[in-house]
């Protein structure tokens, strides 16, 4: 009885003390990150999201080569989560030793490039020029270790093409669509006239492919000033895609429930697809046999998406983290990641590896996607400048296009509203 | 302390048990222990409840004050610095057409969800209050939707309200009606979102009202029945008036919840930013987008304070209405 009593007392005392300590310390950052500190051993944390293809086996390889290092891998469920976490802790401590970022939020990260450790200069030749270029700041510091990229091709439904009397094999389709956006929309007009069905999924997603080929669409690369509303190129693209959309679009907003349904029920015949989109299509349109991919992209090459690894400069083991990031983004490891998760390498040397060149995709009618996307990656010439306000302006533009597509506004009214929204930014 | 020392003799008209007469010098120790026990009596209650207030100051009051400070600044979240710019953020937010659209949407969704919800809840509660079979089963049944996570509800419903391949439109088409543009027409989107809210919260309110109904003395109904009042007459003459205080509670909580609606409109489409033409943009959604989409914390803080003031204003109105209603009830008796 007495024993029991004293134990409960002890527990009460401990919990009391703990709660007081909790209040007193508030939320002190980075407690317990120096685990495994015996014998000079170091723990390195790697934070990623979605699937980078960094399996336990891959990381174990590094630990075997470097016995004094333990790698701990934290995966965030979504990029939004990772993004919120990144900007909350950047510069304040508490981030992992290596933090993955997506190209979508790279412009925001570049504003704080001074808070990140620089990638050693001798490594910069490893990546495609435009991949390294996008992560290089105005002081010429490269701050991101490129992982994957999203070179774009055209995915199409060969069964729908056949029904419309168009060629169906991927070489002929590539020849058919070779050219600029006018060619793409002209063939689309033919298709829609012949079948009465939609050629592409939505104006907004086609616009994305087009605007990614414009060097400086919304902001002046030198001054950072917003030039979007006066840029004739932007207005031309806007008008071109909406004129085509009137007859050729399925009006299905990308990633909407209707769009996912449209992938499998043949609501549209073609779609602009980066390498990683193949997984989205095959995952959501199981049982559909018609999807194929052609080695072509209107108006040359285009890139959509991809990621980088960054090393926060205030980490506890910056040097070791840089070595690990170096290893993870080396061509050999990137190819393993590609095999694991389909993340297409951004490393020049990887494109000579047989594991990549010989890769075929069963779902897409055994398309040689490894070789195909290497060519698409090499076709990318323009690295669009994305400044501080890029995503706000682009988001407003996507909405402007959607407004016309769903019939809320006409082309001019929607453009005018976009202009007034962009004017309010900043 | 001196204040209480001097106060004490004045109040000795009714001397407490511990303070009979001036203390002699010799027993100072006792006096001290008395003082201790007096402190104990006076201070201990505050000490016991202090954890709540300390926590409240740290987690409640401080963020509110800090938000106010940030709302006057052009704030850089990453570097943790800002420049003072006064009321510019407030002026900017109030000058945005989007803000007023968001305000309109919030109230529209709030009314579309609260009014039918409460009417429905009262009637379901009245049904459950009758002598029916398997009472507990039905009573627990109405609470099932509330157990579902709001995000799950939103996922299912936004799938149903798809513009082209959604369940609701397919059914409408089969019945010979035209499709409803759920994602482009503002009013249609409000109805769809209100449906999700109603689905989740009707059962919850039903149970609260049911509990209140059970507390109404059965004699009233017996007396009314003897006087020849029908079921409907009984409902409007006895049940509804007796529910007044509970109704007021339910209305206030659903007002606060309604003005802060976030999950359902955020999950309604794939972007979560309230639609291409801000058709279903609500205040909290706008706040989230400014803060976590554009990383403009100064502006988001200003909007947060505006929302706080709106809720406060409506709370005051609620309070005045409540007071009047309660007084009315008193005079009725």
DSSP string for B21-39: SPPPGGGHHHHHHHHHHHH
CA–CA dist A391, A388 (Å, integer): 8
Number of A:B CB contacts under 8 A? Answer: 77
Contact B276 A406 (CB under 8 A): yes
pLDDT at residue number B8: 41
The residue of A257, A415, A420 whose CB has the most chain B CBs within 10 angstroms, and thus the best one to mutate to test that interface, is A257
CA–CA dist A200, A348 (Å, integer): 32
Residue A53 backbone class (left: φ over 0; alpha: ψ -120 to 50; beta: rest): left
> Which residues of chain B are within 8 Å of residue A415 when distances are taken between CB atoms?
none
B328: pLDDT strictly greater than 80: no
- Give residue for tokens 């199409």: A156
> Which residues of chain A are within 8 Å of residue B158 when distances are taken between CB atoms?
257
Contact B166 A258 (CB under 8 A): yes
pLDDT at residue number B36: 85
What pTM does this model have? Answer: 0.79
Q: Facing residues of A307 across strands?
A: A102
Q: How far is CA A214 from CA A30, A128, A385, B31, in A?
A: 42, 18, 8, 87
Contact A252 B273 (CB under 8 A): no
DSSP letter, residue A127:
B
pLDDT at residue number A388: 83
**A252 inside 8 A of chain B by CB:** yes
| Distance between A95 CA and the closest CA of chain B, angstroms | 12
Q: Which two tokens stand for residue A413?
A: 């009214």
Report which of A270, A273, A303, A304 is spatially closest to residue A185, judged by C-alpha positions.
A270
Q: Facing residues of A47 across strands?
A: A74, A99
Q: Which two tokens stand for residue A411?
A: 């082309």
Report which of A33, A116, A31 is spatially closest to residue A325, judged by C-alpha positions.
A116
Q: Which two tokens stand for residue A326?
A: 């170096």
Nearest to B78 among A91, A253, A408 (CB): A91
Contact A347, A180 (CB under 8 A): no
- Beta-carbon contacts of B19 under 8 Å, excluding residues fewer than 6 positions away, are B8, B12, B34
Contact A257 B184 (CB under 8 A): no
B119: pLDDT strictly greater than 50: yes
- pLDDT tens by residue, A83-121: 889 998 998 888 999 999 998 889 889 989 999 999 998
Q: Which two tokens stand for residue B150?
A: 């709001």
CA–CA dist B120, A163 (Å, integer): 52
- Beta-carbon contacts of A325 under 8 Å, excluding residues fewer than 6 positions away, are A98, A119, A145, A309, A311
CA–CA dist A230, A208 (Å, integer): 19
Contact B109, B282 (CB under 8 A): yes
Report which of B152, B129, B116 is spatially closest to residue B207, judged by C-alpha positions.
B129
Mean pLDDT of B89-107: 93
pLDDT at residue number B5: 42
DSSP three-state, residue A249: strand
> Which residues of chain A are within 8 Å of residue B270 when distances are taken between CB atoms?
253-257, 259
Nearest to B165 among A253, A261, A407 (CB): A261
B16: pLDDT strictly greater than 50: no
Report which of A340, A326, A318 is spatially closest to residue A145, judged by C-alpha positions.
A326
Q: Which two tokens stand for residue B266?
A: 């955020």
CA–CA dist A240, A401 (Å, integer): 11
For B82-140, give the DSSP string. EEE-TTHHHHHHHH-HHHHHHHHHHHHHHHHHHHHHHHHHHHHHHHHTS--TTHHHHHH
**A12 inside 8 A of chain B by CB:** no
B27: pLDDT strictly greater than 50: yes
Contact A261 B163 (CB under 8 A): no
pLDDT along chain A (426 residues), means of 10: 40 42 39 43 91 91 93 86 89 92 89 93 90 90 94 95 94 95 96 94 94 92 91 96 95 89 93 89 90 94 92 93 95 90 89 90 92 92 86 91 92 95 86
> Which residues of chain A are within 8 Å of residue B279 when distances are taken between CB atoms?
408
**A115 inside 8 A of chain B by CB:** yes
| Distance between A422 CA and the closest CA of chain B, angstroms | 12
- Give residue for tokens 């040689």: A368
Q: Which residue of A has its CA nearest to B165?
A: A258
Contact B270 A253 (CB under 8 A): yes
- pLDDT tens by residue, B132-190: 888 889 888 888 898 888 888 888 888 899 988 899 999 999 999 999 999 999 999 99
Range picked from A339-348, B4-13, B21-30 for highest mean pLDDT: A339-348
Contact A144, A264 (CB under 8 A): no
> Which residues of chain A are within 8 Å of residue B80 when distances are taken between CB atoms?
91-92
Contact A256 B80 (CB under 8 A): no
**A408 inside 8 A of chain B by CB:** yes
Q: How far is CA A180 from CA A116, A158, A185, A246, A301, in A?
A: 39, 21, 9, 19, 11
pLDDT at residue number A7: 42
Count of CB atoms situated within 10 Å of the CB of B52: 9
Q: Which residue of B has its CA nearest to A423?
A: B96
| Distance between B270 CA and the closest CA of chain A, angstroms | 5
Contact B79 A255 (CB under 8 A): no
pLDDT at residue number A161: 95
B3: pLDDT strictly greater than 70: no
Angle between helices A331-341 and A318-328 (to 10 degrees): 60
Nearest to B78 among A87, A257, A400 (CB): A87
Q: Which two tokens stand for residue A128?
A: 């495609």
pLDDT at residue number A37: 41
Contact B78 A399 (CB under 8 A): no
For residue A5, with 0-12 CB atoms within 10 Å meaning exposed, 13-18 middle and 19 or more buried, which class applies? exposed
> Which residues of chain A are within 8 Å of residue B74 when distances are taken between CB atoms?
none
Mean pLDDT of B304-323: 85
> Which residues of chain B are within 8 Å of residue A108 when distances are taken between CB atoms?
295
Contact A311, A322 (CB under 8 A): yes
Report which of A228, A299, A303 is spatially closest to residue A273, judged by C-alpha positions.
A303
pLDDT at residue number B327: 58
CA–CA dist A190, A199 (Å, integer): 9
Contact A407 B181 (CB under 8 A): yes
More confident residue, B125 or A4: B125
């Amino acid at each position: 009885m007495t024993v029991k009593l004293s134990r409960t007392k002890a527990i009460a005392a401990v919990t009391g003390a703990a709660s007081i300590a909790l209040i007193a310390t508030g939320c002190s950052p980075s407690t317990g990150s120096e685990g495994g500190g015996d014998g000079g051993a170091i723990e390195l944390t790697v934070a990623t999201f979605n699937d980078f293809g960094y399996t336990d086996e891959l990381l174990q390889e590094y630990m075997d080569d470097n016995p004094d290092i333990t790698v701990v891998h934290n995966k965030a469920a979504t990029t939004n989560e990772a993004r919120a976490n990144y900007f909350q802790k950047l510069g304040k401590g508490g981030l992992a030793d290596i933090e993955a970022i997506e190209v979508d939020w790279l412009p925001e990260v570049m504003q704080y490039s001074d808070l990140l450790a620089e990638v050693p200069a001798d490594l910069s030749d490893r990546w495609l020029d435009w991949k390294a270029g996008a992560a290089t700041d105005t002081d010429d510091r490269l701050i991101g270790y490129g992982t994957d990229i999203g070179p774009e091709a055209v995915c199409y439904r060969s069964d729908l093409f056949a029904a419309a009397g168009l060629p169906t094999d991927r070489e002929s389709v590539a020849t058919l669509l070779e050219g600029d956006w006018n060619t793409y929309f002209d063939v689309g007009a033919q298709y829609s006239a012949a079948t009465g069905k939609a050629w592409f999924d939505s104006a907004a997603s086609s616009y994305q492919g087009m605007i990614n080929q414009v060097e400086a669409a919304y902001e002046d690369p030198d001054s950072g000033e917003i030039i979007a509303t006066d840029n004739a190129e932007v207005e031309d693209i806007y008008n071109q895609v909406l004129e085509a959309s009137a007859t050729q679009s399925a009006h299905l907003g990308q990633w909407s429930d209707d769009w996912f349904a449209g992938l499998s029920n043949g609501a549209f015949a073609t779609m602009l697809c980066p390498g990683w989109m193949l997984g989205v299509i095959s995952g959501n349109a199981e049982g559909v046999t018609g999807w194929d991919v052609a080695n072509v992209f209107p108006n040359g090459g285009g890139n959509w998406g991809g990621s980088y690894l960054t090393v926060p400069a205030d980490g506890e083991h910056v040097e070791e983290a840089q070595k690990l990031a170096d290893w993870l983004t080396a061509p050999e490891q990137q190819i393993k990641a590609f095999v694991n998760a389909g993340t297409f390498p951004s490393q020049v040397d990887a494109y000579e590896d047989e594991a990549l060149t010989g890769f075929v995709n069963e779902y897409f009618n055994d398309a040689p996607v490894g070789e195909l996307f290497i060519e698409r990656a090499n076709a990318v010439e323009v690295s669009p400048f994305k400044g501080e306000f890029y995503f706000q302006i682009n988001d407003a533009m996507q909405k402007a296009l959607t407004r016309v597509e769903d019939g809320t506004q006409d082309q001019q009214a929607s453009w005018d509203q976009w202009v007034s929204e962009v004017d309010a930014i900043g | 302390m001196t204040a209480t020392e001097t106060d004490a003799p004045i109040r000795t008209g009714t001397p407490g048990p511990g303070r009979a007469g001036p203390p002699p010098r010799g027993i100072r120790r006792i006096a001290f222990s008395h003082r201790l026990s007096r402190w104990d009596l006076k201070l201990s209650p505050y000490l016991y409840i202090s954890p709540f207030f300390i926590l409240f100051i740290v987690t409640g009051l401080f963020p509110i004050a800090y938000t106010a400070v940030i709302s006057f600044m052009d704030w850089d979240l990453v570097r943790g610095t800002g420049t003072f710019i006064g009321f510019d953020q407030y002026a900017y937010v109030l000058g945005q057409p989007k803000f007023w659209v968001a305000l309109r949407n919030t109230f529209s969704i709030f009314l579309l969800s609260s009014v039918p919800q409460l009417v429905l809840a009262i009637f379901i509660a009245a049904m459950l209050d009758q002598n029916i079979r398997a009472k507990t089963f039905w009573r627990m049944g109405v609470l099932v939707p509330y157990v579902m996570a709001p995000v799950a509800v939103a996922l299912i419903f936004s799938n149903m309200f798809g513009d082209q391949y959604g369940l609701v439109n397919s059914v409408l088409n089969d019945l010979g009606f035209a499709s409803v543009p759920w994602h482009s027409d503002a009013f249609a989107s409000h109805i769809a979102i209100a449906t999700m809210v109603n689905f989740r919260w009707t059962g919850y309110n039903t149970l609260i009202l049911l509990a209140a109904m059970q507390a109404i003395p059965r004699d009233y109904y017996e007396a009314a029945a003897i006087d020849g009042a029908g079921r409907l007459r009984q409902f409007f003459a006895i049940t509804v008036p007796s529910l007044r205080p509970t109704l007021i509670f339910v209305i206030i909580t659903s007002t606060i919840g309604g003005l802060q609606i976030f999950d359902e409109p955020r999950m309604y489409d794939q972007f979560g930013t309230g639609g291409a033409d801000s058709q279903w943009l609500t205040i909290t959604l706008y706040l989230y987008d400014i803060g976590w989409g554009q990383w403009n914390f100064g502006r988001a803080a200003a909007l947060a304070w505006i929302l706080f003031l709106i809720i406060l204003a409506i709370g005051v109105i609620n309070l005045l209405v409540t007071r009047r209603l309660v007084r009315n009830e008193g005079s009725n008796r």
